Structures are given as C-alpha cells and as structure tokens.
Amino acid sequence: MRRGAVVSGSTAVAMQRASMSRENGPEWGFGRERIMVWMVETQRGATVSGLTTERGGGFGSIERPILDRLNCARCICPSGSFKGPLARSSQADSTGEAGILSQVEEKIKDEIQQINADVQVRDAHIERRKTEMAALESLISQYREGFNQYKSQRDKLQDERNSLWGKDIELSHEIDGLQTEVVKAEKSLDHATPGDIRRGLNSVKKICREYEIPGVFGPIIELLDCDEKFFTAVEVTAGNSLFHVVVETDEISAQIIRHLNALKGGRVTFIPLNRVKALQITYPQSSDVIPLLKKLKFSRDYTPAFSQVFGRTVVCRDLDVATRVARTDGLDCITLEGFVALCAICSLVCMFVACESLLLCIVQVIK
C-alpha cells in the first residue's frame, strides 16, 4: 500500500511491515513478520501514515512528524491484543476520546436544538409574512377594482363633458342669433315708439342707473308675455299704455319726474302699484268670450297695473259676438284680428275725442 492512502471505516489502520531500528520506535514480534501499525482516527475516517513490509528484516522509518502534528496517534495490533507498555496508554486514550465524543455529541445536540428553534422562529416569521402578503394582495385587488371603477366613471364623465361642450357651442351660437334678433326687435320697437316716449324711457333708465333708484320695474311691454296669436289684440287694446312704467310707489315716480324735467328727457307715464287697485269685473260665461287678462303671462305682483290696462277687455270669436257682448255687458271687445267693438260709453268718448280733434283741425285751418 502506498503512502498517504485513505482507509474507509470508523478506524483507520496503517500497517507498516518493515525493519525498524530501536531509535525509530518500539517493535513487536509476530513470528517471522514484525508489524508496526499506526492508526490515526479522525471524524470521517483514518489516514495511513506509512506502511512497509519485510520478512525477517529490520524496520523502516515512520513518518512521525505527521502523527505528531495530528496529535492523535496510537498503536494497535490487527487482532486487537496489545503487548508492551503502549497498550495501557492506548486504553487511557480510548477513555479520553469517549469523553470528548460525549461532549461533542452534547454540543451538537445543543446546536441542533438551537437550529430547530431558529427554524421554528423563521417558519413563524415566514407564515406571518405570507399572511401579510395575502392581505396586501387582497388590498391591491380591491384598489385595482376601485381604480377600474373610477377610471370607468372618469371616461363616462369625459364623454358627458365632451357632449356638454358640443351643446354649449350650439347654445352659444343660438344665443348669438337671439341677441341679434333682440337688437333688431329693439330697433323696430324704437321706430314704432313715438319719439318723446322713446326718449323718456331712455332717460328713465339713465336716471335710475345714475341715482340708484330702486323700485322701478319697467314698462308694461317688458313685463308681459303671451301667445303670438294674441299680439294684435294686446297692441290694439293697450296702445301707448304698453310703454307705461310700473313703479313701486308714487314717491319713486315723483322723484324720477323731477330728474326727468330737469333733463328735459321726454315724456313718461308711471303706474305706481300703491295707488292702483285691481278691477273687480264679472266676465260673461261663454266659450266665445275669453278675458284678455287671462291670456297674458306676468308676475302676480303687477296684477293691479295689468288690470288697469287690460282688465275691461275680452277677446271674442268674431265681430258679431264682440258687438253683442259690448252691448249687453258693457265691456271692450276685440277679435284676434284686431277688430274692436266698444261699449256705448266708450263709443261716446271716442266720438267726443274725434270731434274735438276735428274742431282743432278746423281751427288750425282757419288760422
């Protein structure tokens, strides 16, 4: 066997069969063969430090430095029997090694227990982390669902906003067109309104703005609304009364008149709500007769003023009905086409006014 060979098993036996001088170590005789056995025990096996064989010859040298360095060399014979003083030393060494192995075993057991405890702690930590991870994953899933819902709502709101933008653009164009129509209507109204009345209305607006006069509601024509088919009846019935200005009290009208006279700003007629009363009129119960006041749309606060202008007028189906109602009920009757049938008193008044105008014209001609 060559030097440095490894022997498997719990005990490594190195056998050297050689001639060995007395200075190299002890020797044992077994017939013609003399065997020197060197055993080096380690945890995982044994290493043979040297082995030589010779029959009847001397002993060779042993690599003692290696054994001295490992510090665990002992001599045994292959059959297990020892001769000489080295046997007692070998038994003592075995007892010491048993104690060392016991200590190592206890130390390893302690280490194993510590490792098992550490493993349990780490397993518990891993389980806690897994639980936390599951909770976080559930929370992430909930947040993801909420995010998707909010995203869907955002997309829906964006679509609605785009739709509203389109409607806003359409309404803006429509408003521009209506404003243009209002300007045209105001111009037409200015041309249809007598000059002094138009000038007076503009002066009233200017005075109220400069002196911050409250309680001025505006002319009748700006305070009412009605169906288009009643426009003619309203214009014929009211006449210039459409431009009468409704105010809260007579004090306000007096204040405006003072400023108006100072400016010479035209002519305006005021209707103070604290001085007028709503008329109590009994209308005929007929499907051919409709009170004009009931077809007008206005604030109930202005009822006394509108009653003074439109309260005595009814709209009739035709001129015959209008004439009959005017005679029997004493009301001012008008058709949708604008034909008027006045009561007897109103007719006399109109005739007197006409005669007075005719006399004035005659006087003017004579002059």
> For the chain, percent helix, then strand, then coil, each to nearest 5?
60, 15, 30
Q: What pTM was estimated for this model as a whole? A: 0.50
Asked if 36 and 22 count as a contact pair (C-beta separation under 8 A), the reply is no
Predicted confidence at residue 80, as pLDDT, reads 42
Alpha-carbon distance values, 188 to 184, 285, 327 (Å): 6, 38, 37
Q: Please list, residue by residue across 322-346, b when 16 or more beta carbons sit within 10 angstroms of its beta carbon and e when fewer do.
A: bebbbeebebbbbbeeebbbbbeeb
State which residues of the chain have pLDDT below 50.
1-87, 344-367
CA distance 246 to 178: 26
Residue indicated by tokens 């390893």 = 108
CA distance 287 to 331: 16
Asked if 72 and 40 count as a contact pair (C-beta separation under 8 A), the reply is yes
Predicted confidence at residue 193, as pLDDT, reads 78
CA distance 333 to 76: 153
Predicted confidence at residue 89, as pLDDT, reads 54
Tens of pLDDT, residues 177-214: 999 998 888 788 777 778 888 889 999 999 999 999 99
Tens of pLDDT, residues 15-61: 343 344 333 444 444 333 333 433 434 333 333 444 333 344 443 34
Asked if 254 and 216 count as a contact pair (C-beta separation under 8 A), the reply is no
Q: What are phi and psi of 165, to 5 degrees?
A: -60, -45
Cα atoms in the Cβ-side hemisphere of radius 13 Å centred on 146 = 6
Asked if 43 and 97 count as a contact pair (C-beta separation under 8 A), the reply is no
Q: Hey, what amino acid is at 106?
A: E
Q: How many C-beta atoms lie closer than 10 Å to residue 302's C-beta?
A: 17
CA distance 115 to 191: 109
